[in-house]
Amino acid sequence: MTDVSESVENGQEKPVDLRKLLRAINDSFSEDDLRDLCFDLQLDFENLPGTVKKDKARELIIHFDRRKRINVLVAAFRELRPSVDIEAIIVEIVDEDPSDARIEIHTADVLPQQDKSNTMIASKSFGAIVRMLTREDVRTAVITFQTDFQTASQQIDQMNDYKQIHDLFQILETQYDLIYRDQKRLPADDMAWEDIAIAEPELQTKITDIVTLSKSQTFAGGDVRWASQLETVKERLQTAVAADDLQALDDGVTLLYRVLNRHPTRINAQLVAVASALRLDNLEKAITTISTSLAEADVAMANMVEEVKSGRSALAGLDERLKELVREHNAWQNIDDEVRRVKSAVSQNNIDELADAWYDLEPMTQERIEAHKDKEWAVNLGKVMVELEPAIDQQLISKVRRLFMRYHTYVGHRFREVDLELLSLCTELQRVGEQIDLLLRQFNK
């Protein structure tokens, strides 16, 4: 048998074969057993999509895989079924295509590569603490910081929920574009209905995924009227496709545009707010305290002690990177908000609002350029600003319009880069969140 705590060797996680895990849960659990498992994991069995046991089990696995907490599910499963051989649900090296073993998980963007060393080191540090819980001094330190661990786990989980909603909205926007283009062909081109009928089921699936995720604890008590609006979109588009009803199509597409135009930005802002509140420095203090208590460690535990100690600098690095990205994101958000405010006026040859806004836009943008002056985007943006300012002063309307659109494009691209970097870091932090959950689970046995 292989314990979950031993499923990381030399910092390399053994990926769980989700299809084999589904088969193991379905074969060894009755529906009542599955309810008990959900209760143990603090999930509402009834809220899981599906009507039969296997569908519920699949959605349970998807829930944990999306949150990068699959080993927490495996740990809970093993506690209820200790005879299960964990090696039997690990993706084997000989698998022709390990990705085929995974249940489909949607990703809206190809996220930029992150330096994963700090998250790997930090997660190994918490894994070492799990293996050392037999020591009274370690258990005492965990008790002291238990609330901090729980809060960090919840916040990292919330960040993941916001990221998942963010990704799904991005995919939904792509589906909207397809249907919108076909809608414009009607009523002149009746063949457009066939293309809409092909695209509509995929859009329905994305809406269902979003609505399901909106029922998670992260969004409890918040304003999720957009979820019911998306349900209305589903109904109208179903009616439109079934009856070639152009009015129902127009109503559904218009409502979907309103949702996409308002709520993804707000969700992104909520993600940034949670990221800002994440106190990785508290985790660093916890690791420091535990490290200090291990000064008299047994020789046999020397390697684990070093893993715990290495987590201090790793968490400090993650904290610094997260704060840096949040500051950068907020700075570009302020610039982007101001640019969007004056864009309409500039497009109508009214540059007075831009002239007023430039007193704020110029120093805010220049500050970002100075912070990254060696980057290509910063050089290009700086060149545009050098030309744009005198054009505004001289009231050269055509030139201002042209340069402003280039300025807007560079700002938008950079803002998107920062957004993706933050989303990527949120994904990486799930490693730490999973290990914290495993620690809390082991500690509370």
**Measured between alpha carbons, how far is 232 from 222 in angstroms, rounded to an integer?**
19
For residues 242 and 346, state if they share a domain. no
Q: Could you give the 3-state DSSP secondary structure of residue 95? A: coil
Same domain, 257 and 329: no
Asked if the structure places residue 182 within a domain, the reply is yes
Q: What is the distance of C-alpha 290 from the center of its chain?
A: 30
266 and 161 in a common domain: yes
DSSP3 helix / strand / coil % (the chain, rounded to 5) = 80, 0, 20
- Is residue 238 domain-shared with residue 335, that is, in the same domain? no
Query: Looking at the structure, do residues 395 and 335 belong to the same domain, yes or no?
Result: yes
Number of Cβ within a 10 Å radius of residue 9 = 8
Sign of CA dihedral 138, 144, 147, 153: negative
Name the amino acid, one letter, at 282. N
For residue 286, tell me if it sits in a domain.
Answer: no
- Does residue 43 come out as left (phi exceeding 0), alpha (psi in the -120 to 50 range) or beta? beta
Geometric angle at alpha carbon 220, from 237 and 437, rounded to 5°: 115
- Which region among 135-144, 203-212, 332-341 has the lowest average model confidence (pLDDT)? 135-144
Are residues 255 and 170 located together in one domain of the fold? Answer: yes
Residues 181 and 74 in one domain: no
In a domain, 313, yes or no: no
13 beta partners: 8
pLDDT digits (tens, 9 = 90+) for 341-387: 999 899 899 999 999 999 999 999 999 999 999 999 999 999 999 99
Distance CA 354, CA 384 (A): 15
- pLDDT at position 93 is 46
Q: Is residue 30 part of a domain?
A: yes
Residue 17 has pLDDT above 90, yes or no: no
440 falls within a domain? no
d(CA 76, CA 440): 12
The SS3 call for residue 13 is strand
21 inside domain: yes
Same domain for 96 and 181, yes or no, is: no
Interatomic CA distance for residues 421 and 412, integer angstroms: 14
| Residues 10-17, mean pLDDT to the nearest whole number | 61
User: Where does a domain end: 105, 126, 145?
Assistant: 105
- Please classify residue 180 by burial: count the beta carbons closer than 10 Å to its beta carbon, then call 0-12 exposed, 13-18 middle and 19+ buried: middle
Domain coverage including residue 266: 154-276
Supply the CATH number for residue 180's domain. Answer: 1.20.120
pLDDT tens, residue by residue, 101-142: 344 444 444 556 566 789 999 999 998 898 888 888 888 888
421 shares its domain with 329: yes
d(CA 211, CA 327) in angstroms, rounded, equals 31
Distance (Å, whole) CA 233 – CA 8: 45
256 and 369 part of one domain? no
Give the pair of three-digit tokens for residue 394. Answer: 């001289």
Number of compact structural domains in the chain: 3
In a domain, 99, yes or no: yes
314-326 burial string, b = 16+ CB within 10 Å, else e? bbbbbbebbeebb
Distance, C-alpha 29 to centroid of its chain: 31
Whether 191 and 251 share a structural domain: yes
Check residues 402 and 302 and name the one with the higher pLDDT: 402
Q: Is the peptide bond before 187 cis (omega within 30 degrees of 0)?
A: yes
Are residues 265 and 346 both part of a single domain? no
Where does a domain end: 276, 311, 329? 276
Q: Which two tokens stand for residue 94?
A: 């000989």
pLDDT in tens, 163-173: 889 889 989 99
Render the burial of 282-300: b for 16+ CB within 10 Å, e for the rest. Answer: bbbbbbbbbbebbeebeee
Name 117's Cβ contacts closer than 8 Å, sequence gap at least 6.
314
Q: pLDDT (tens digit, 9 = 90+) per residue, 183-196?
A: 999 999 999 999 99
pTM of the model: 0.81
Average pLDDT in the 396-406 region? 95
- Residue 300: is its pLDDT beyond 80? no
Residue 346 structure tokens: 């500039």
What local confidence, expressed as pLDDT, does residue 85 receive? 76
**With helix as H, strand as E and coil as C, how does 53-90 read?**
HHHHHHHHHHHHHHCCCHHHHHHHHHHHCCCCCHHHHE
Residues 417 and 112 sit within 8 Å (Cβ to Cβ): yes
Do the Cβ atoms of 179 and 246 come closer than 8 Å? no
Q: How far is CA 104 from CA 5, 65, 172, 317, in A?
A: 26, 10, 16, 32
| Burial class of residue 20, CB neighbours in 10 A (0-12, 13-18, 19+) | middle
Q: Give the type of residue at 170.
A: Q
Is 303 inside any structural domain?
no
Q: At which of 256, 276, 296 does a domain end?
A: 276
